[in-house]
A and B are shown apart, each in its own frame.
Chain A
């Protein structure tokens, strides 16, 4: 039986998905990526996207769990709608409950079929600065038609230096440092 991706391509040679799958298997044999290397790669990516000294802040235990005395809370945020419940016309408000020492915050939502950026707010932009000690961000997101009804996962990435969208997205796709919250829009 002919490989379906070849039928879809209309060519009898290797299809793009086949080539990618072969490459993955080759790399797994000749240049396996260890967990340690992956973490370094994630750190390097963040560093490259930022000015000197950028550090990603990995979320630790949820803030309602016991935290060592004197230790800093891990970064976290809540996302709520005003007025509730979340619906078209509501404003999505970000309450940073702990910065974990971070100075910058990036966020986007993933729904069933779409991805919506909040911070950076433009393709060329970078993550926004955080108020010292956290608190409610002064930039709320007015929910429009782009927020079709459904459940969204909001990913938040905390860092000590600004990151662009590509860096944030790669970090999240690699399973890197991210805090997530679920929001349902009616």
Chain B
């Protein structure tokens, strides 16, 4: 169901460009859009599979592009509040991926962005590097003080905001910010010590599925 269903005030605030309304809409859809950007999709009619973002930075950049396009003044004004908003965002995401893929292979059709979303593990998902880094991270977390372990659980695993985390821990938001930065610095050191701190190689943006 679209986030605007039975919520006229949210739609009005969204159209005005109210930051809180934009944030509400963003958080409602961001995971779904990130999944499209991450996993890519297939175009059954042409047998082409458009891969998702090759690396995390590209993933973040593309997710940002989707919402910048969707939240622009003209796009907000032209949205009627009735059409499902999720598919609209997905289409923007798919078109962005197609544009990137066409830079590699211009034969990919421009107007076929209605392909099905492919949710299946890709090479990036299966590589051993993640498992190795995650194991080192688990060891790192286990060695943290209880307060820091709790912060990791609330802020990262449970995805609380800094304010919510601060309230749950009974400390200030500034303290949460400080501890969060300290944890990330500590993890970087731990990964470096384990020889796991290096850059990933980018992967091609396109793969073909069978013959055309």
Contact = CB atoms under 8 A, between A and B. Distances in A.
B103 interface: no
A30 B134 CA distance: 36
Interface in B129-150: 129-130, 133-134, 137-138, 141
A132 interface: no
Given A26-B67, A30-B22, A17 B180 contact: yes
Contacts of B178: 113
Contacts of B200: 1-2
Interface in B19-52: 19, 22-23, 26-27, 30-31, 34-35, 38
B100 interface: no
Judged by DSSP, the binding face of B is helix
Judged by DSSP, the binding face of A is helix
Nearest to B179: A113
A5 interface: yes
A69 interface: no
Interface residues of A, number: 34
B31 to A, nearest CB: 7
B104 interface: no
Report, as a range, how many residues of chain B touch the other chain: 35 or more
A19 B30 CA distance: 8
A114 B179 CA distance: 12
Nearest to B18: A31
B183 A29 contact: no
Contacts of B23: 23, 27
Given A113-B175, A114-B171, 4 more contacts: A1-B200, A16-B155, A16-B159, A21-B60
Interface of A: 1-10, 12-23, 25-27, 29-31, 33, 110, 113-115, 173
List the 9 shortest-distance A-B pairs measured between CB atoms, nearest first.
A115-B172, A16-B159, A8-B156, A7-B137, A9-B156, A30-B71, A31-B17, A26-B67, A14-B34
